[in-house]
Each structure stands twice: as C-alpha cells, then as structure tokens.
Amino acid sequence: MRRWFRRKGKDTDQDEDNGTAPLVEETEPGPEAASGPGVTGEEALAEPEPEAQEAALAQTETTNGPQRRGFLRRWRREAEPSDAAPPALVEVAAEAEAEAVFIEPPPAPPLVPPPTPEPETTPAIPTAPPETEPAATPPEPGEAEATPEILAVEDLEETGEVPAEAERRGMFRRLRERLGRTREALSGGIDRLFRGRKVVDAELLEELEELLITADIGVETSLFLIQALEDKLRRRELGDVERLKAALKAEMVGLLASPVVLDRSARPWVVLVVGINGVGKTTTIAKLAHQDRHQGLTPLLVAADTFRAAAVEQLEIWGERIGAAVVKQKTGADPAAVVFDGLAAGLARGADTVYVDTAGRLHTKVNLMEELKKIHRTAAKKIPGAPHEVLLILDATTGQNAMNQARLFHEAVGVTGLILTKMDGTAKGGVALGVVHETGIPLKYIGVGEAMEDLRPFDAEAFVEAILG
C-alpha cells in the first residue's frame, strides 16, 4: 500500500507540472476508500499498518490487475478539458511528422505590373532579328506626336541654329489666333461673298467695297482699295476670285508698309507717349521698357502723369517689376517740370532710353493739348532734338474715332508712330488700315494681349495674312 501512495503522489505532481489537475473518479479508490468511512484526512494520510497495506494491494491486483493504474491515468487525462493536445493525438502527430517529407516551395516570381493594353489603332510592332536594327518604338498612348516642323526646329535648336523663318511662323500662328475676331469679320465676309462666284465683275467689286466699309477700314481707304482693283480688272488681271483676293492682299500690304527707320544714335533716346484716357499708356511703356531690358539697354521712366490718382504708384510698380528706375514728383506738380528733372536724371545716369508717361487727355480739350505742347517744348530745351519719338496709343475698339485722335494729336506734337492696343478683343482691327492711310503715320506696334510679350512690332505682311486668312 505504501508503494501505491508513492506512485499516486508522483502522478499528481506530474499532472500539476503539465497544467492539469487530477480528477477523483468514483471507481478509483481514494484516501477515503482506503481509510474507510468516518476517517478524517489526517488519519487517511497517516501510514497504515503493514497488514492493511498488503491486504489492499492484494485486493487491487486481484480486482483490476497490474494495468489498472496506468489505464485510469490515461482515461483521466483524455477526459480532462485542456487546451493542450491529448497525448494520443500528440503521439499520432509526432509519427506523422516523422514520416512527412517537406518540399521546398519554389521562389515567388517577381512582382511585375500587368502590361498596359495598347490602343486598338496602334499596330503591333514585329520583333526585329538580332542582326538588324531594332524597330522604332511608337509613342506612348496620350503622347502627342511632334509635327515635322517642330522636330526640325528642335534639331536646329540643339546646334544653336534656329532659322528666323521658323520663329516667324510661330509668331504668325499666335498673331492669327489673337486676331480671330477681326479675321472672322473681314475674311469670313469675303469668303461668303466669293462663294459660288466664278467671274469678277463690277457688281462683285461694289459688294466688296460695302464689306470693307462695314469692317471699319474706313470710307476713304475702302474707296482707295476698290479703285486699285478696278484698274486691275480693266487690264484683265483679275480672271477669278482667287486672283482678286491675292490682289486685295497685295494692296493692303502696300498700304501698311512703312520703311521709315529712325536713327537711334542719340543718348538718351527720349520717347514721349501720349493718348486719351484708358488706352493703356502706362502698361505700354512698361512693355517697351521690358523689351529694352532684354536688348541690354537701360530704360528710365518719367512719371509726368501728375493728375490721375495713383498714376505715379502704378508706374513705380511696373518699374520694380522690370528693373527700371522711375523719376517722380508729388501729385499735382507741373508735368513739364517733372519731364525736365527726368531728362536731367537720364543724362546723369547714362540711361539709354527715357520714356515719358503723360496724363490721358481728350483730343478735343484745347487747354490739355496746350499743356502737352509745353511738355514737348521743355524736352527740346533740355536735350536738343528731344523728344526723338512721339508715340500715340490708340484703342482698337474705338474704331473710326481713332482717326480723329490721330489727326489732332499729330497736329499738336507731331506724332511719329502709332501703337494699336487691345487688338485681341475686337473685330475692328481693320481700323489699322484706315488710320495709317489717312494720317500717313506708320504703325509701330500692336498689342494682342496683356502679357509682356504681347506687344509685337508691326509686320504688315503677317498682319494682312492674319486678318484675311
């Protein structure tokens, strides 16, 4: 019996180490059964007599046999709820693991994004043999193909040899876009007039004259152009409408061409900028000075508009943007005195160009025109020959009124050049033909936008081609 209790104690300790608690089964003799009913725990734990131990052991072996104790332990462990795997399952798993053969999995293929499907319109490119030169790769979807003209210019840009003709074509395309309204009014009307006509006669020329007058070219200028076409018609030089349109273009170019080139050897070169209110004199001065800066010249701005509120501040802001000095006085000062100080500063600082910004004035106001004449005389006293250039700013949206402005300003201060602004926002661009023809003053610049680069030197051929299509 002592041996039985010792084995029982060892099994209990082993179960506690494995995290399981022994369960007492009714079929297994415990301490109470060994000690009998009415016996306390201490008495049961006490060592029984040798005769009692031998009798109990003999009874156990007789009843259950020598395998009874091991069977009860296994049965008790299988019946206990535990997270651990049963010993039988553990033994089966161990045997399976011993018999299993592990195969090394193949390496995962690299992550390659799926190929982008090509558009249906893109032909398949055959694979070239190793000996031949690989075929050219087509452009990616969405990538615009360069035109032969652009490719040629880019190739020449790499060698530093960009032809002036290619640059001129690019400028012409932008000019054509900006003069779209004028082209629609003039070229569109001419195309509708010529549609279905095969013979050029006096009736067709009469209808063309009416169209030119309504396109703000002016009555006198329109009559001049039609007279020239009638002379060609009598000489049988206008066989069809295509020749008539080509002849009209040639007459317009000859009307606008002004080969007069001024000698800008004087330093400083004084430019007096005049015009009515709101035509863009201050902005145009800033654009002219910006062009001088790109040519390596030093411009100087004179704020002679002392009448309009914030006019001086506006010119100062433009001067800071383009890097040009500004000569100014307080608001209400004598404009002639400001011009005198500005020319003196130009001489002292060695400026290449001096731009004089004057106040806007209506050409019908006699007193304001007299003030402008005084400014002109003051500049001539300070620098002999100044102002070397008098530029009149005209708003193209005013139409035929621009001709009256040009006449009166020319009579007052002797305008040497015209600048037409806001050409991109009007269909009255044909006024350029009328004002040049009726005043004889050459057109120097046209404004086709608000950017610094949108003040373009006037090109008669490009202008006529842009408005006639």
Q: Which residue has the higher pLDDT, 43 or 415?
A: 415
Average pLDDT over residues 262-277: 92
- pLDDT of 90 strictly over 50: no
pLDDT tens for each residue of 349-381 = 999 999 999 999 887 888 889 999 999 999 999
Per-residue model confidence (pLDDT) at position 257:
79
Q: What is the dihedral of CA 404, 410, 415, 420, to 10 degrees?
A: 0
Closest CA to 185 of 431, 443, 354: 431
- The pLDDT, as a whole number, for residue 326 is 96
Confidence band, pLDDT 50/70/90 cuts, at residue 414: very high
pLDDT band at 220, cuts 50/70/90? very high
Quote the pLDDT of residue 337.
95
Q: How confident is the prediction for the chain on average, in pLDDT?
A: 75
165: confidence class by pLDDT, cuts 50, 70, 90: low
CA angle 117, 118, 121 (to 5 degrees): 145
Per cent of the chain over pLDDT 90 is 40
Please say if the pLDDT value at position 36 is more than 90: no
Whether pLDDT at 435 is above 60:
yes
